[in-house]
């Protein structure tokens, strides 16, 4: 085999044929005084819900823009909650005190809807564009371009300043690491090019400054079988200390043995949120575990976040790609290392591949101001 072909093969990653694809774009902007003044007749300060008509008017304008740009699923959110999107065979929207979660199948689900908190002036308005149809990843550049035009039209309609809108494109691939062992036939080969490079192949160029992120979150349910492998004394002050410290040790060992020099273990029930920032900081924010990361200056370390007194349903392992994890081919080698590390980790736990899952979600994001 020629050397060039061999090197190319090292940078390809094979994922199950039944991997689920998601793409959504989130546009958000602060609610300026000028916009309130422009629609002052829609605000009733004497009402218990003074902003209802105002938000609904903005939502209707947004839905009109979506229809004109042939966007089948647009969600208008005015409640200052953190937005999450996940694949689901059923269309469900769930809310907590801090989050609004959209579950849907892009192949079948579409429609516009507004989610508003009518009693208060929110800090930011958010516009969620959900990709629909088939071959989501293949058509991602086309959908991105369509959304950019819609955002430009809506921004002009409201009279927003240039650069006031933050637009983020989120793309996911989700699958069971042990799908083959469960009888799933066939694989997909990916080099996992950056969003920028994939878009260029479809003649779509990202204008202006932007930041990109690639990371993987692996979710491992803490089954009773796995719990039984460790010394858990429920009468002890810290009954789950051995469980979590042992998992942390094995996680770090397996990662390092497979060429990975940074990773985060989360076993506190919080939702990991990775953000591109100048400094790397990991902190708890209510229901969220925020992970600020600078891909240009990674700290090359491991950390674990858990409570020794609390048993969680699952443990999540976060692997964030640094700048040097992207080769001339893409992030395929990075994800192969993640796969190898987690397979080694599962082996240490005597994983029951046919009956136990280990879900991998690859995230690729790009953010820009419009």
What would the pLDDT profile of 216-268 be if each residue is shown by its tens digit?
999 999 999 999 999 999 889 999 999 999 999 999 999 999 999 999 999 99
Q: Give backbone dihedrals phi and psi of 249, rounded to 5 degrees, phi first.
A: -60, -45
Which three-class secondary structure state does DSSP give residue 340? helix
Confidence at residue 9, expressed as pLDDT on a 0 to 100 scale? 65
What would the pLDDT profile of 36-86 be if each residue is shown by its tens digit?
999 999 999 999 999 999 999 999 999 999 999 999 999 999 999 999 999
Strands 302-306, 359-369: pairing kind: unpaired
Confidence at residue 10, expressed as pLDDT on a 0 to 100 scale? 72
Mean pLDDT per 10-residue section of the chain, whose length is 370 residues: 54 95 98 97 95 98 98 98 96 97 96 97 98 96 98 98 97 98 96 96 94 96 96 91 97 98 96 88 94 83 94 97 90 97 98 96 97
Confidence at residue 143, expressed as pLDDT on a 0 to 100 scale? 98
Domain locations in the chain as residue ranges: 16-190, 214-369
Q: Where are the beta strands (DSSP E) in 110-253?
A: 113-116, 124-130, 166-176, 187-190, 210-221
Q: Please identify which residue in the block is written with the tokens 């005015």.
A: 78
**Number of other residues whose CB lies within 10 A of the CB of residue 120:** 12
**pTM score of the predicted model:** 0.94
- 211 within 8 A of 358, measured Cβ to Cβ: no
Q: What angle do CA 218, 219, 221 make, to 5 degrees?
A: 150
Q: What angle do CA 123, 128, 129 make, to 5 degrees?
A: 155
CA-wise closest residue to 166 among 275, 27, 35: 27
Which three-class secondary structure state does DSSP give residue 110? coil
Confidence at residue 6, expressed as pLDDT on a 0 to 100 scale? 52
Q: Please identify which residue in the block is written with the tokens 């799908």.
A: 179
Q: Where are the beta strands (DSSP E) in the chain?
A: 13-16, 20-30, 74-78, 82-87, 92-95, 99-104, 113-116, 124-130, 166-176, 187-190, 210-221, 263-267, 271-276, 281-285, 288-293, 302-306, 314-320, 359-369
């Amino acid at each position: 085999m020629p050397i060039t072909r061999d090197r190319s093969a090292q940078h390809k990653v094979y994922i199950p044929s039944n991997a689920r694809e998601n793409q959504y774009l989130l546009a958000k902007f602060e609610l300026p005084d000028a916009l309130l003044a422009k629609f002052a007749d829609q605000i009733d300060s004497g009402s218990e819900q003074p902003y209802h008509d105002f938000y609904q008017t903005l939502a209707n304008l947004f839905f009109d823009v979506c229809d004109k740009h042939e966007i089948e699923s647009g969600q208008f959110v005015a409640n200052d909650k953190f937005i999450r999107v996940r694949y689901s065979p059923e269309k469900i929207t769930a809310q907590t005190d801090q989050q609004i979660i959209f579950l849907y199948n892009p192949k079948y689900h579409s429609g516009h809807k507004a989610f508003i908190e009518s009693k208060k002036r929110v800090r930011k308005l958010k516009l969620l564009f959900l990709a629909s149809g088939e071959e989501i990843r293949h058509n991602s550049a086309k959908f991105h371009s369509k959304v950019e035009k819609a955002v430009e039209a809506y921004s002009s309609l409201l009279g927003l300043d240039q650069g006031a809108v933050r637009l983020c494109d989120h793309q996911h691939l989700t699958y069971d690491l042990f799908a083959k062992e469960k009888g799933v036939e066939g694989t997909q080969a990916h080099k996992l090019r950056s969003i920028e490079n994939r878009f260029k192949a479809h003649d779509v160029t990202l204008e202006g400054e932007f930041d990109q992120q690639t990371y993987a979150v692996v979710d491992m349910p803490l089954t009773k079988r796995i719990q039984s492998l460790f010394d858990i004394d429920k009468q002890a002050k810290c009954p789950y200390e051995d469980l979590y410290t042992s998992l942390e040790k094995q996680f770090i060992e397996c990662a390092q043995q497979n060429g990975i020099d940074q990773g985060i273990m989360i076993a506190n029930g919080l939702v990991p949120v990775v953000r591109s920032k100048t400094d790397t900081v990991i902190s708890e924010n209510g229901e969220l575990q925020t992970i600020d990361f600078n891909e240009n200056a990674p700290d090359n370390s491991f950390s674990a976040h858990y409570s020794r007194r609390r048993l969680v349903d699952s443990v999540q392992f976060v692997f964030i790609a640094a700048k040097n994890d992207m080769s001339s081919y893409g992030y395929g080698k990075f994800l192969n290392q993640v796969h190898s590390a987690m397979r080694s980790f599962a082996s240490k736990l005597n994983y029951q591949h046919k009956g136990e899952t280990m879900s991998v979600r690859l995230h690729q994001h790009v953010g820009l101001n419009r």
